[in-house]
Structure 1
Amino acid sequence: MSNLTKMQFPEGYQCQYKETVMRLANMIGRKKEGVQPGGEGSYQWDDPEYVCLEAGITDEMAEVGLCLGSFQKKTAAQVAEMMGKPEEYCREVLMDLAVYGACKVGTLNGEDVFWTETWIPGHMEMIVNNPNNIKKYPIVAYAMEAYGRVRGGGSVGSFPVGVGLMRVIPIESAIDGDSRKADYEEISKYVEENTVFCVSDCSCRTDREVMGEGCGHLKEDMCIQMGTAAEYYIRTGRARQITKEEVYEILKRAEENGLMHEIPNIDGSGKTHAICNCCGCGCLSMRTATMFKNVDMIRSNYVAKVDAKKCTACGQCVENCPVNALRLGQKLCSSEPVVEDITTTVTPRDEEWPEEKWTPEYRTSRENVVDSGTSPCKTNCPAHIGIQGYIKLASQGKYQEALDLIRKENPLPAVCGRICNRRCEQACTRGQIDQAVAIDDIKKFIAQQELDPQKRVIPKKRHDYHDKKIAIVGSGPAGLSCAYFLALDGYTITVFEKEECLGGMLTLGIPSFRLEKDVVDAEIEIIRGMGVEFRTGVEVGKDITLDQLRAEGYDAFYVAIGAQGGRKLGVEGEEAEGIYSGIEFLRGINAGNRPSLRGKTIVIGGGNVAIDVARSAVRCDSGEVSMYCLESRDIMPASEEEILEAQEEGVRLNNGWGPKRILTENGRVKAVEFKKCLSVFDEQHRFSPKYDEDDCVVVEADQVIVTIGQSIQWGGLLEGADVEFNRNMTVIADAFTYQSGQADIFVGGDCYSGPKFAIDAIAAGKQGAISIHRFVHPGQSLVLGRDRRIYRELNKDAVLVDDYDHTPRQKPDTIKEASSDRFHDNRGILDEQQIQKETARCLGCGVTKVDEYMCVGCGQCTTKCKFDAIHLERKYDAEGVEFTQMPPVVFRHVMKRKEKIARKKEEQLAQKEER
C-alpha cells in the first residue's frame, strides 16, 4: 500500500484502540453488522473513519450513538428505552455527540431527534467545523484530508454524471441565457427555498491549514448551511446565523475572488442543505477531479466553450479556472503542427485507473500554456500582462476596462508606458511582417487618464485583512507594487522610505525627460488612496530597526531598497576631482541640483543608465559628450531606441574600450587612457573582459561620469537578521517565493536580482505580496496551489498570415509647445484616432483552449472574460438522487463501465494483432 492510499499521522501520534468507537464507525460506514472491530470487513485502526471518531469520543459515548442507526431519527427517550438508561443521561450524551459531530440534532414535531449520516458530506465536515475539535484534536483534520485520498481511488469511474456525493453548481450568471437549464442548476433556487441560514469556516481549508498545506484561500466565512443543517450548525456553535441578503453577498464575493460553488448532492434532485464556495487547490471534493481525473463524479451539466474570434488570450479565464481545464494556445495558422484540442481522451470512463494514472502533484503542476505556445507578448512580459486583451479593449474604446486589465499585473502602467524596455514589442509577431505593434504607446494612452485626479479610479478591495500589519522598506517599483497588491486585500501597509521623496529610482534615478515626476506621483496617489501609509525620511536600520517594528506588531517585511549606489572603476586616478558617479549625478539633477558642465564630458558605461547620464550631461551644457563602453555596438545593454536618441542629441559613441587609468593634473582629471576590449564575456557568458594592453588611446576630459553598474547600500537594515548575501551583496532568497533566510523577511527588485528594469521589479512585487499574504496566515504554504506562471511563446517563424491590416506603425508627435526646460519630457501620446489604427495592427496571436473532459462547468471563466468569448453550454442532462437511492444507480454504471473497459481492451488487442 502506497502513502497515497493510507492515512498520514503527525509524528508521534498514537491511536487508542476503542472497540465500541470502532463499532460506531462501522455503523456509520454501513459495514456488515457483527464484524469484529479492526478485523475483516471492518475499518482498520489507522483508517480515517475510525481516527476522526476516536480522537474525541469515548466508548461510553459510542455505545449511545450505536442506538441511532443510520439515517434513523430517534429521540433521547427512544434511545434510553433501547439502552435501559435514564433519558437525561442519554440526552446529554447525544448532545455531546452532536456537538462533536458524530451525529446530528434537529427537531421533529417539537422534539429533539438525533441521527447519523454519511462520512462526506456529513460527519467529517461536522467534526472539523467545530473549532474546539480542531484545537483539542487536530488529528481530525488529518483524518478528513485522508478520507478522500484513501477512498478516492476506489470510486474512480464508478459514479455517473450527476450522482456524486458533491456536485458543482454553475455560477448563475453563466447560465442566465440558457433556455435549457433546469431549476436545480440555479443556485438561487436553493437560497430562496430556505429561511434559515448560517456561515461557517470551510472544513477543507481548515484541514489544509492544520496540516500546513493551505493554498492562500482562507477558510473564514465560506460554507453556507441552510434549513435544518443551519439550525444544527447554529445550535452546536459551528457557525453564525446570517440573513438571506448576506448569503448573496458571500456568494458574490466568492465569485469575484475566483471561487466556484458546490453543493452536497445526497438529498435528492433539486435539494441540498449547504452551498460550498470552493477553490480547486484546497477543496477535497475538487481533488476528485484534479488528482483522480474522476470528473464525472462532481461535474455540473455544463462545459465551457470558447469563441475563438472573440478570445484575446488575456489569460483571466485560464488563471482563474479551478481545475486547470483551460490553457492558452495559438490562434494564427502555422506551417507546423500546433495544439488545437486539449480535451483529455484517456479517461476513467473506459479505462482502468490505477495509482500510476493519478496526479498527486496537481497542486504544484498547474500549466497555463499548451505545448506549442501562445502570444509572444504575454510570454515575454515579465509580469505576463494580458496585452492582447487590453489592446482589444482599447480598440473598443473601453479604456477604463483596459486599464483595469493592465492593473491586474502592473499597478504602474503610466510609468511603464514611458520607461519600459518593451520586451513585449521585441517579441511581437507583427515584427516578423513589418514593425511590432506599439504596445507601450497604447498602454501609455490608456494610463494617461490616471494623471487626471478627476478620472482616477481607486481599486475596490477584495478582502479586509487590516488586522495584519506589513512593513515595506523602499518605495521604488517593487515596493510600490507589493504595497498595491497587499492593499487590494485590505492589509495595513506602511512603506518606509529613507529619502524625502517617494518613488525610489523612478524619482531619483531616471531623468525627467524620460519620466516626469508628476507621473510617478499620480500612480503613488492611487496606492495612497487604497489606504497605504508612506513614511519618508525614515531609514530602517538607523532611525528604526526591524526588531522595533516587530515589537510594534508588524507581521512581515518586504525589503525592496533597490540598487541605489554606484560602482568604482578600480583604476589609477579615480579619486581625482571631476570624477562623478552616474547614479549620484542623476540623483542630484532629480533633486534640483543641476550642475553646469563645461568642456568635454566622458561617460563610462554602456547601459541605459549611462545613456541617461550622457543625455543629461548634454542638457547640463557640456560642450562635448562621449560615451565609452566595453561592449561592441550590437551587444550594448542599452536599448536601441535610447542609443539612437542619444546619438541624435549629439552623444558620441565609442565601443570596445575600457578605462586603463585616469590622467590628472593638480588633482583634477585631465584625460582618460582607454585600452581596447577584445571580448566582454567568456564561453559561459560570464563577465570576463579581455584587453589588448598595447592598443590604447588617451582622451581629454574636463569631467568623467562613471556608470558601470550599481551597488546596494544596506546600511544597518539587516544587521542581526538571519539573511545571507551573494557576492554582489544581493540577498539570497527563494527564487519563487522571495522568502529570505529569515522567515518574515521577503525581498524583491534590484536588491534581490541585481539591477534590472522597472517591470521586473513590479512583477517581483506582486509575487512578494502573494508570499506575504500566505506567510502571515497560519498554516498556509508558500507554494501549494500557487501558479508558477510558466509561459512559452508560439513559433513565430512558422506563423502564416495571409490577411492583416496594412496600416503602418503609428508614432506619437513630439510636443511642440514643450517647456523650454530641456529636462521636460516632450514625447507625445498617440491620439484616439491613432489608437484605433494601431490596435488594428495586432494580429491576435493567442486563444484559450478548453479541456472539455476536465471542465467541471462551474462558470468561473465566464465571470472573468471581458470579451464575451467564453460561455457554458449544457452537455449533460443529469440530476442527483437521494443518498439511499445511489447504490443501484452506481451499480448499473459500474457494470456498464466494466463492459466498456473489456470492449476497449478487445479492440486494442485486435489492432495489435493486425499490426
Structure 2
Amino acid sequence: MGSQTTKMIFPPGYVCRYDEQVMRLANMMGRKKPNVRPGGKGSLQWDDPEYVILEAGVTSEMAEVGLCLGSYEKHSAAEVAKKLGKSEDYCHEQLMKLAVYGACFVNRVEGVDLFWTETWIPGTMEMIVNNMDNIEKYPIVAYAMEAYGRVRGPLSSGAFPVGVGLMRVIPIESAIDGESRKAGYEEISKYLNENDLFSVSNCSCRTDREVMGEGCGHLKEDMCIQMGHAAEYYIRTGRGRQITREEAFAILKRAEENGLMHEIPNTDGPGHTHAICNCCGCGCLSMRTATMFKNVDMIRSNYRAVVDREKCVACGRCVENCPVNALKLGQKLCSSTPVVTDITTRITPRDEVWEEDKWNEEYRTNRENVVDSGTAPCKTNCPAHIGVQGYIKLAAQGRYQEALELIRLENPLPAVCGRICNRRCEQACTRGEVDSPVAIDEIKKYVAQLELDPATRKIPEKRHDYSDKKIAVIGSGPAGLSCAYFLALDGYQVTIFEKEEKPGGMLTLGIPGFRLEKAVVEAEIQIIRELGVEFRMGVEVGKDVTLTQLRQEGYRGFYVAIGASGGRKLGILGEEAEGVFTGIDCLKRINRGDVVDLSGNTIVIGGGNVAVDAARAAARLSQGEVRMYCLESREEMPASEEEIQEALEEGIHICNGYGPVRIAESGGKVEGVLFQKCLSVFDEAGRFAPVFDETDTILVPADHVVVTVGQSIQWGDLLEGTKAELRRNNTIVADALTYQTGEADVFAGGDCCSGPGFAIDAIAAGKQGAISLHRFVQNGQSLVIGRDRRIYKELDKKGAVLEEYDRTPRQRPDNLDGVGHRSFADGRGVLTEEQIQKETARCLGCGATMVDEYMCVGCGQCTTKCKFDAIHLERVYDGAGVEFTEMKPVVIKQMVKRKGKIAFKKIKKKFGAV
C-alpha cells in the first residue's frame, strides 16, 4: 500500500470527465453544502472515490434529475418533474437509470415508484458494484468502492461507540444459545423471520477484490442476502435473484460451515436492517476497518470470545478461522522461562491519536498463528500442522469419528501415515523430556481403522460446487492424492493421470507390504474416488498426452506430483553387472508381483529407510545372508530407529562406516563389493563430505547387490514447451508458499519439487497446491492474499514445569499372531481400546488458545469450530444501533469524549503517572 494508503488507486487508462453535475450529485449524497463549488473547498475532489464511482456510469442528465431527490427523502417521478420543470416520463426514465446503475433506491408503494438516495457505505457503493453490468463496463467502480473505506476509514478511528458503527457483526446464533443477556437484535434469525421478501446477490467487497486481482480465495457468488425494500430493489434491478426464507437460512448455514461470519448494515435503527452479509476478514472492506485500522468498535458485536484453558487442546481450529487474527496459540504448561500470557491489544483508537504508524497495512498477509513463546511441539513439528492434541483428546473421549475428521482436515491419508510416518510429532513431544513420547502415530492408526471398513467409512461432504472447472493432477502418490482430495472437497472436476497401472505412486510400488499393505492404500484411495476424482491409469503425460492437449480438453490448471520414482546409481565400476539392482527398481518389481530371484547372499548399500525396506524384502526372498553397508555410523543413519530395530530383529546385519569402491564381477555377474572405511560423513558445517581411509578396504562376497543411495526424478517430456525450470538436482523450481512454477498454470509439490522426503511432507504440499489451484482457476484471486503462512513455533520444552501427569508407561501394540519374519504381511498390531485410553491420558496438553480481547469482534465463528466446548462468547458490551439520520450527534459526543481521554492520557504521561 505505502503512499497509496489514503489515496484512490486508478487502473491504467482511467480518464476523469470532470462532470460538474455529477460532482454536485456526489456532494449532495455525501450531505455536503448544496451550493459548494464542485471540486473546490468544502467539496469532494475529482479523484475522490465518491465522485469517481458516480462518474463512471452517471450522465449529466441523470445527475440533474437525481439532484432533485435530496438526501434520504423519498420522491416520485411526478414530484421530481414538478421541481425540475420537465416531463414525468423523462424524469422517471432518468431516475430508473440511476436506480439500475445503483445511485438510488426504487420501491413501488401503492402503485407508485418512489426513489431515494442513501449513504455511500453501506448503501450506494455496494449497490453500484452489485450490478455486474457495471463491473463489466466500468471496472473503475470496484476500485472506487475499495478506496472509500481505505481513504475515509482513518477518519472514523475511535469515532463510533460500540454498536453504532455503519456495519455491525451479528454473532453466529449457535454461539449465543443459552446466553442469559442476549437481546433479540443480536440473533441473526430475527432479521429473516421478520421479513417476507428475500434476494441474494454477489458480495460487493469480494467483487472489488476480484476486479483488482486481490481476491483472497473466498468467492463472491451468492453471499449477500437482502430483505424487504432492499430485496424488492435488488430483484427489480437485476442485482439479485429472489429466494425463500428457507434458502436464506441455508445460505447462512453454508457460510458458517465455510468459516464466514455475519454482518449487517447498521443504519436502519436498533433491531432493523435491510441486508445480511457473510464476510471473511481477508476480503471484506468493513472488516478491514477493524483489522487494518484496529477500529474494532465500529463493527463489533456486544460479545467477545473467552477460552476455558482447562478444556482447550490447541487444535488450532479457532485460530485458523478467526477473521481478525484475534486468537493465537500459546502454551498451557507452567514454565521456568518467560511465557506470553496476555495478547490483548493495549494501544487502541479509544484514547490515542490514530495515525498511519499504528495501522496494520499488511493485515492480509501477516497474520500470525502462534505467540512468541510458542505452542505445542506436536502441531508445530508436523509438516501438515495437524491438531494432534485435539485428536488425542477426542480419542480419549471415545469420539473416534470426530478425531478422524479432525485429522482429515489436513491429512487425507491417516491410515497410511499411521503405518509409515516418520513421526516428527513424536520426536518433538514434550512427554519425551520426561520418559517416552506419546504414541501419537499409534493413536492415529487406531482411529484410522474406521476408514478400512466400508461399513464405517465416511465420505466427507463437499464444501462447494465448482464442477464447471477441470483440474489435472499428474501423479497419484501422496502429494497428488492429497491435492486431488482437497480440490474434490471444493467441488472441482479433478482427474489424476498416472503412468503406472495402479494408483498410489511409491505408496503402492515403493513400500513393501510388511510396512504398508496395499489394502490400506486402496481403502483411502476409494474415498477419493467416491468424492468424484477420476483416475486415468497407464497414461504418461508428456508421452501419451501433452499439457497443451489437456488445456484443449478444458483443464484450467495442473498439479505435477510425479515423485522421485527412479533409482540412483553409484557411478562405480561393475554397476552394470548381472545381479545389481537399485532399491527402487527391486521394490517396484516385488510390489508388482514379479518374480525376483535374490537367492544366495545379498548386500544392500545405503542407510536410509528405503535401504532398510530393501534389506527386509531381500530377507524374505532368500534363505541367504543379507547385509547392509552404509557410510554413516549407527547414530547418524537416516533410517528411523524403529525400522532399524525391526531389521536387526529379522537377522539383517548392519555394517556402519563403509563406502563402496567397486563391484566385483566375473563373466558379467556380480561376485561381491569392495568397500573402504569411511572416517566421517559430514564436515564441520554439517554438509555431506565423506572422508575415507583408502588403505582400509574389505571385499565382501555377494550374489546380489541392491543399491539404495538415492532416488531420481523421471521427467520424460512432461515439461516440454513450458517455462518451468529444473534445479541442478533435477527438482522443479516452484514458489515456496504457492508451489507455482515458471509456467503459470503448472503447480508442483512432493518429491519432484522438494527432493525425496516423507509422505507427510508430500501430503502437506498437496493441500497447499490445492489452495493455490483453487485461487488460480478462479477470476481475480491472489495466490498469497489472505493465505495462512502456517508459521509455527514450539514452546520451550526444557523450561516446562510438570507438576502432575499420568505416569503410565508408553503403550505398545502386540504383533499379530501367525505373521512371521518371512511374511510380506504387516505383522504389526493396533493398540486395543483399553490401551488407547491409557495412552491418550499420557498427553500433557501443552498448548492452549489465547484471545486478544480488544481485537475480537464477537462473531462466534471460533465457537462453531471447537469440538471441546472450550471457547464461548461472553456479552461484555450493551451497544445498540442508531438510524443513520440520528447518528451524527452520537458520533460528535463520542469524539468529544475521545479527545478528552487523549488529552488526559497525555497529561498523565507527561507527569510520569503512566
Whether these two folds match at TM > 0.5 is: yes
Aligned residue runs from structure 1 range 345-356, under 5 A: 345-356=346-357
Aligned residues: 913
Kindly indicate whether residue 423 of structure 2 is the aligned counterpart of residue 388 of structure 1.
no
Once the 2 structures are TM-superposed, how far is the Cα of residue 361 of structure 1 from its aligned partner? 0.2
Corresponding residue number in structure 2 for 1:449: 450
Corresponding residue number in structure 1 for 2:868: 867
| 3-state SS in 1 of match to 2:263 | strand
- Once the two structures are superposed, residues 638-665 of structure 1 have per-residue CA deviations (whole angstroms, 9 ceiling, x without a partner) of 1111111111111111222111111111
Asked if 1 retains the 8 angstrom alpha-carbon contact of 2:620 and 2:821, the reply is no
Kindly indicate whether residue 248 of structure 2 is the aligned counterpart of residue 247 of structure 1.
yes
Corresponding residue number in structure 1 for 2:779: 778
Corresponding residue number in structure 2 for 1:751: 752
Kindly indicate whether residue 612 of structure 2 is the aligned counterpart of residue 590 of structure 1.
no
Distance 1:605 1:347 in 2: 60
| 3-state SS in 1 of match to 2:673 | strand
Distance 1:819 1:638 in 2: 22
Identical residues among aligned pairs (%): 73
Once the 2 structures are TM-superposed, how far is the Cα of residue 448 of structure 1 from its aligned partner? 0.6
Corresponding residue number in structure 2 for 1:323: 324
Corresponding residue number in structure 1 for 2:656: 655
Aligned residue runs from structure 1 range 587-736, under 5 A: 587-736=588-737
Distance 1:114 1:802 in 2: 70
Deviates more, 1:819-828 or 1:208-217: 819-828
Corresponding residue number in structure 2 for 1:158: 159
Distance 1:523 1:598 in 2: 35
- Once the two structures are superposed, residues 37-74 of structure 1 have per-residue CA deviations (whole angstroms, 9 ceiling, x without a partner) of 11111111111000000111111211111110000101
| 3-state SS in 2 of match to 1:252 | helix
- Once the two structures are superposed, residues 833-855 of structure 1 have per-residue CA deviations (whole angstroms, 9 ceiling, x without a partner) of 00000000000000000001000
Corresponding residue number in structure 2 for 1:50: 51
- Once the two structures are superposed, residues 470-522 of structure 1 have per-residue CA deviations (whole angstroms, 9 ceiling, x without a partner) of 11111100010011101101111111111111100000000000000000000
CA pair 735-333 structure 1, distance change in 2 beyond 3 A: same
- Once the two structures are superposed, residues 550-603 of structure 1 have per-residue CA deviations (whole angstroms, 9 ceiling, x without a partner) of 111111111101100011101111111111111000001111124232222111
Distance 2:832 2:79 in 1: 82
| 3-state SS in 1 of match to 2:695 | strand
| 3-state SS in 1 of match to 2:674 | strand
Kindly indicate whether residue 160 of structure 2 is the aligned counterpart of residue 145 of structure 1.
no
| 3-state SS in 2 of match to 1:20 | helix
Kindly indicate whether residue 212 of structure 2 is the aligned counterpart of residue 211 of structure 1.
yes
Corresponding residue number in structure 1 for 2:495: 494
Corresponding residue number in structure 1 for 2:280: 279
2:700 partner letter:
V
Aligned residue runs from structure 1 range 501-580, under 5 A: 501-580=502-581
Kindly indicate whether residue 486 of structure 2 is the aligned counterpart of residue 485 of structure 1.
yes
Corresponding residue number in structure 2 for 1:83: 84
- Once the two structures are superposed, residues 121-153 of structure 1 have per-residue CA deviations (whole angstroms, 9 ceiling, x without a partner) of 011000000000000000000000000000011
| 3-state SS in 2 of match to 1:336 | coil
Distance 1:703 1:262 in 2: 70
Kindly indicate whether residue 890 of structure 2 is the aligned counterpart of residue 889 of structure 1.
yes
1:82 partner letter:
K
Distance 2:723 2:819 in 1: 51
Corresponding residue number in structure 2 for 1:113: 114
Distance 2:197 2:86 in 1: 35
Corresponding residue number in structure 1 for 2:834: 833
Once the 2 structures are TM-superposed, how far is the Cα of residue 302 of structure 1 from its aligned partner? 0.1
Distance 1:791 1:153 in 2: 32
Distance 1:284 1:424 in 2: 39
Distance 1:396 1:808 in 2: 20
Once the 2 structures are TM-superposed, how far is the Cα of residue 685 of structure 1 from its aligned partner? 3.1
Asked if 2 retains the 8 angstrom alpha-carbon contact of 1:596 and 1:622, the reply is no
Asked if 1 retains the 8 angstrom alpha-carbon contact of 2:332 and 2:847, the reply is yes
Corresponding residue number in structure 1 for 2:477: 476
Deviates more, 1:810-819 or 1:378-387: 810-819
Distance 1:113 1:502 in 2: 64
| 3-state SS in 2 of match to 1:417 | helix
Asked if 2 retains the 8 angstrom alpha-carbon contact of 1:383 and 1:762, the reply is yes
Distance 2:61 2:452 in 1: 72
Distance 2:472 2:400 in 1: 33
Once the 2 structures are TM-superposed, how far is the Cα of residue 231 of structure 1 from its aligned partner? 0.3
1:220 partner letter:
E
Distance 1:476 1:109 in 2: 66
Distance 2:16 2:679 in 1: 72
Distance 1:524 1:375 in 2: 31
Once the 2 structures are TM-superposed, how far is the Cα of residue 821 of structure 1 from its aligned partner? 6.1
| 3-state SS in 2 of match to 1:634 | coil
Asked if 1 retains the 8 angstrom alpha-carbon contact of 2:619 and 2:822, the reply is no
* TM-score relative to the length of structure 1: 0.99
CA pair 622-569 structure 1, distance change in 2 beyond 3 A: farther
Corresponding residue number in structure 1 for 2:96: 95
| 3-state SS in 2 of match to 1:2 | helix
State the Cα RMSD in Å: 1.1
1:312 partner letter:
V
1:163 partner letter:
V
- Once the two structures are superposed, residues 728-782 of structure 1 have per-residue CA deviations (whole angstroms, 9 ceiling, x without a partner) of 1111010111011111111111000110000000000000000000000010000
1:45 partner letter:
W
Distance 2:682 2:147 in 1: 54
Distance 1:75 1:425 in 2: 73
Kindly indicate whether residue 849 of structure 2 is the aligned counterpart of residue 848 of structure 1.
yes
| 3-state SS in 2 of match to 1:90 | helix
Distance 1:449 1:908 in 2: 62
Distance 1:568 1:423 in 2: 29
Distance 1:910 1:364 in 2: 40
Asked if 2 retains the 8 angstrom alpha-carbon contact of 1:601 and 1:622, the reply is no
Corresponding residue number in structure 1 for 2:29: 28
Which runs of 5 or more residues in structure 1 are unaligned?
none
2:859 partner letter:
C
Once the 2 structures are TM-superposed, how far is the Cα of residue 671 of structure 1 from its aligned partner? 1.7
2:429 partner letter:
C
Spell out structure 1 runs of 4+ moving beyond 6 A.
Answer: none
Kindly indicate whether residue 86 of structure 2 is the aligned counterpart of residue 59 of structure 1.
no
Once the 2 structures are TM-superposed, how far is the Cα of residue 820 of structure 1 from its aligned partner? 8.8
Asked if 1 retains the 8 angstrom alpha-carbon contact of 2:376 and 2:847, the reply is yes
Once the 2 structures are TM-superposed, how far is the Cα of residue 683 of structure 1 from its aligned partner? 3.9
Corresponding residue number in structure 2 for 1:19: 20
2:767 partner letter:
K
Corresponding residue number in structure 2 for 1:194: 195
Corresponding residue number in structure 2 for 1:815: 816
Distance 1:832 1:521 in 2: 25
Distance 2:236 2:738 in 1: 42
| 3-state SS in 1 of match to 2:106 | strand
Distance 1:910 1:812 in 2: 68
Corresponding residue number in structure 2 for 1:300: 301
Once the 2 structures are TM-superposed, how far is the Cα of residue 819 of structure 1 from its aligned partner? 7.3
Asked if 2 retains the 8 angstrom alpha-carbon contact of 1:390 and 1:406, the reply is yes
* TM-score relative to the length of structure 2: 0.99
| 3-state SS in 1 of match to 2:441 | helix
Distance 1:578 1:109 in 2: 94
Distance 1:648 1:815 in 2: 16
CA pair 820-36 structure 1, distance change in 2 beyond 3 A: same
Distance 2:325 2:350 in 1: 20
- Once the two structures are superposed, residues 83-131 of structure 1 have per-residue CA deviations (whole angstroms, 9 ceiling, x without a partner) of 1111100100000000001111112332101111000001100000000
Distance 1:722 1:575 in 2: 36
Kindly indicate whether residue 231 of structure 2 is the aligned counterpart of residue 230 of structure 1.
yes
